[in-house]
Amino acid sequence: MAGNNNKNRSADADTGSRMVESAAEESGSRASAIVGIGASAGGLEALEELFSSMPGDTGAAFVVVTHLHPDHKSLLPELLARITGMPVLAAAHDLAVEPNHIYVGLPGGQLSIRNGRLQRLERDESHSPKMPINFFLRSLAQDQRERAVCIILSGTGSDGTLGLQEIKAQAGMVMVERPQSARHAGMPTSAIATGMADFVLAPAAMPEQLIRYIHAPFLSEASADTPAHEMAEGPLQEIFALLRRRTGHDFSEYKSNTIHRRIARRMNVHQIEGHQQYVRYLKESPEEADVLFKELLINVTNFFRDPQAWDVLATSLAALVSSRPDGSTLRIWVPGCSSGEEVFSIAILLHECMDESERQLDVQIFGTDLDSRAIDKARTGLYEEGIADDLTPQRLATFFTREKGGYRIRKDIRDMTVFAPQNVIKDPPFTQMDLISCRNLMIYLNASIQKKLLPMFHYALRPGGLLFLGSSESTGSFSDLFEPLDKRWKIFRRKEGETGRQLLPDFTIQSPGMASRARPLAAARLPGREANMQHLIEHALLSRFVPASVIIDAKGDIVYVHGRTGAYLEPSEGQPRNNILEMAREGLQMELAEAMRQCLGSDTEIRRNSIRIDSNGGGALVDISVVKLEQPEALRDLLLVSFRPTPSTADVAGPEEAVSGAKVDNGEQVEQLERTLRFLRETHYATLEELETSNEELESTNEELQSTNEELQSTNEELETSKEEMQSLNEELTTVNSELQSKLEDLSQANDDMQNLLNSTKIATVFLDSELKIKRFTDQARELIMLRETDVGRPISELASKLRHEDLAADCRSVLRTLVFREAEVITSDDTIYLMRIMPYRTARNAIDGLVLTFVDISGLKRAQKDLRHMTEVFQEGADPTIIVNLRNEIIDLNEQAMRSYGYSPQEVVGKSLFEIIPQRQREMTAELIDRCRGGAAVRTVPWSLHSRASGDIPVLLTLHVLTGERGEADAIALVARKSDEQGPG
């Protein structure tokens, strides 16, 4: 645990070295782990840092995959060989991977691994695989399972993200470089965003943690081909309880092997060896329960997984689409949908089928999963760039749009789907489905849960509906519910019959994603819970020190038998029955039935003593007691019937012998018994007469009751059917409500974003509908048109404004009629000038749904234009020669007088240095004057000479002016030359 991290670095190195030596002796030539390393831009520095700190005897093998152009010759093997003592080899085809070796993938091919041997597929294309790191990591996960380790280093893009998810799905380990240390953080950031990174470290810190992980018990057992260490029942139940409290979900129905592997892997990550210590760590670190919960769910999938299976499914879907008329509805359910790839794969297939058959159907695809975070990702429909390896270029271009960081599913495909959290084990199913796709979910569940899901799927499907399972799944013993359409790819069709409904478990109506509340009594009687039931019953019996006893329900049906009851009960004749009254021996039935009736009516213990029974041809006396159980909760309302031989009484062979054997030999007791017998006989005769008298009435009443019973049975069946439909309808409504709530939040956020964007532009904007009524406006629009919130829905022609533009409504009608936008300058009552634009409002479907009016304040621009025109006129019409130079002393303009005086045209001098047109003797002085002017000093009427091409040097007085920009900074300098005879002394 954390204590291990507090040891100094040298102690850690010594410990790691000892572990490496021990592992090397045990593993022989087999690598204790195979480490797939992905790197791209900036990866060389990270690789050098990683392997310079990596010992040469770790027992692991390393395979490096990088992004290189196929025409580029890689020098990576030579570079790595200089910094490590391990052999560095080029990854050739069919090369066996050995421990303490480094294998470098070369450009121009695809690298994978199979049975511990590298497989290289040369490519004819002029480019390498789109995502070579993903490609290799996926094969590594399938080939090495727990022994697969993934390291993602510096690089751009998201290659490796999908591959590391496969590594985690197979209980492998993932390490990622810290984005702060990476030269390019794209790949590390994408990998960390999955939430599946076990360690985020600088490359130099990775070897120490890697050694600890691969030589800890979990991976050592996996390397030795032994199962991961089993957990005792106590710690396992504690972990289940902690997960239930933290997440609301029960994992006790998952396959024990999967649970043990995942828990052992988490223990390995934290260097925890004892199960009880891990339980304590879970209690101290609640966030660990969240990580364990996510790993147990195994949320890994991809588009069109097993492409051949999808090709077969496409044929079945095409037949299904062709059999339906236009406008009909197709309903599909994908339980365990993870992040939605399988749902969208089905949607894409259906879209293609509808295009081919030229039919338009209403498609509803329900995707559900236990993990609400996976559902949130599915709802966004945004996936990493790596999906390009799972989709054909045509599908990628047709059904996805490229965005920063990945691809987003097209809106019309997204609209075919609904996603919601749901526990498929506890929550009611969807109904009237044409297809259920449940791939690779049941393989993680116990057989008892699989026996519940398959009848439920049968019930949820329409007649002739399809069931699509994973390649490792089957219908098992439920061949009477489904017939195979394709045995290899596990596509089945629903068979008709009531079997599925008869086996359908009872569901509690509740919202998807909410943990189902357990019903203890019903749960105790479910198949698969017999062991727990037996434990409860035995505990109840032992707490009362009972002799031979039977636990029954209110009808007398036997639930459990304790001890030897053969002297009191015997099997009834004919068809075997399990009712205590039918099995009671002669003489016991009447007393037992009366005692049961009284106990149920009074909730007290009822005793009957000295009951004479016929036991195996002889007579015996027995005492019985009947009591209603109150504890534990699972046994509430059951009855406990106990049998005891009557004390001091022995069995007798016949009636006379029984009396003498019971020591009832005095006359008084015999007479009492005879009186009791006569009373019982008289009572019996009277009762018979009354029964004969009422028999006719009872027969008549019985006929009526039978008729009524038939009607009630029919009504009950209808109610049961309606109840099931209402449950399913409630489930669908709740799911749709969840989806709508999510969309409403997105729309609200988008609305807020748009409103803030419009206001931040400081542009007055008004939205009108097709009737020129106000739909929306920005705050700036209030300054032009007298608008209030209550004006939404009013025609714009009814509103007062500051605009001196009487034809605004007419302009709007014209644009709406012609769909040609209009632009004009308008003036307000306070002389502010605005640029008005009127444009059609187009929806996402390119339909016109009103107008957009924008008003941009251009008063400042107009003033600047006016000033510029005035300055231009003064400049051009000035009487003195004027030259304007920039701060680099390059001529940028000159007026007409300067052209005449100097004899140069603008084409000759603009862009050239000023010093090219003035005499050599004046250049130094001119440069000094310009520097003084640029520094802020005034330069006026300085004696100077103007050199004219025609007249030679002309004495003038030179004045320099600084021209400034918008912020007041020096932008240019104007040189004005006046004849000296027109000016006084300077």
**Residue numbers annotated as active site:** 40, 67, 159
The crossing angle, in degrees rounded to 10, of helices 161-169 and 186-193 is 40
The token pair that represents 438 in the structure block: 């449940």
Q: Is the dihedral of CA 337, 291, 731, 716 positive or negative?
A: positive
∠917-923-927 over CA atoms, to 5°?
115
Pairing status of strand 764-768 against strand 639-645: unpaired
Cα separation, 643 vs 655, in Å, equals 22
3-state SS, residue 558: strand
Instruction: List all residues 6 or more positions away from 720 whose beta carbon is below 8 Å from its beta carbon.
Output: none
Q: Is the dihedral of CA 643, 648, 652, 654 positive or negative?
A: negative
| First-to-final CA distance of the chain | 90
Q: Is the dihedral of CA 819, 824, 826, 832 positive or negative?
A: positive
Cα separation, 102 vs 282, in Å, equals 37
Pairing status of strand 148-152 against strand 173-177: parallel
- Rg from Cα positions in the chain: 45
**Half-sphere exposure in the Cβ direction for 589 (13 Å, CA):** 10
**Half-sphere exposure in the Cβ direction for 229 (13 Å, CA):** 19
Asked if residues 249 and 292 have their Cβ atoms less than 8 Å apart, the reply is no
Looking at the DSSP bridge assignments, the partners of residue 640 are: 551, 627
Cα separation, 594 vs 573, in Å, equals 23
Asked if residues 50 and 79 have their Cβ atoms less than 8 Å apart, the reply is no
Cα separation, 332 vs 474, in Å, equals 20
Q: Which residues of 937-949 are buried (b: 16+ CB within 10 A; e: fewer)?
A: eebebeebbbeee
Q: Which amino acid is at 429?
A: P
Query: What DSSP state is assigned to residue 572?
Result: P
3-state SS, residue 706: helix
Question: Residue 345 phi/psi, 5° resolution?
Answer: -65, -45
The token pair that represents 236 in the structure block: 């396992």
18, 389, 74: which is closest to 212 by C-alpha? 18
Question: Residue 277 phi/psi, 5° resolution?
Answer: -65, -35
Pairing status of strand 774-777 against strand 764-768: antiparallel
The token pair that represents 87 in the structure block: 């052999």
Cβ burial, residue 137 (10 Å; 0-12/13-18/19+): buried
C-alpha distances (whole Å) from 504 to each of 348, 426, 852 are: 32, 12, 58
174, 704, 738: which is closest to 417 by C-alpha? 738
3-state SS, residue 433: strand
Looking at the DSSP bridge assignments, the partners of residue 112 are: 119
Cα separation, 374 vs 300, in Å, equals 10
Instruction: List all residues 6 or more positions away from 488 whose beta carbon is below 8 Å from its beta carbon.
Output: 471
Asked if residues 63 and 34 have their Cβ atoms less than 8 Å apart, the reply is yes
Cα separation, 431 vs 982, in Å, equals 104
Cα separation, 661 vs 657, in Å, equals 6
Question: Residue 957 phi/psi, 5° resolution?
Answer: -110, 125
- Widest pairwise Cα distance in the chain: 174
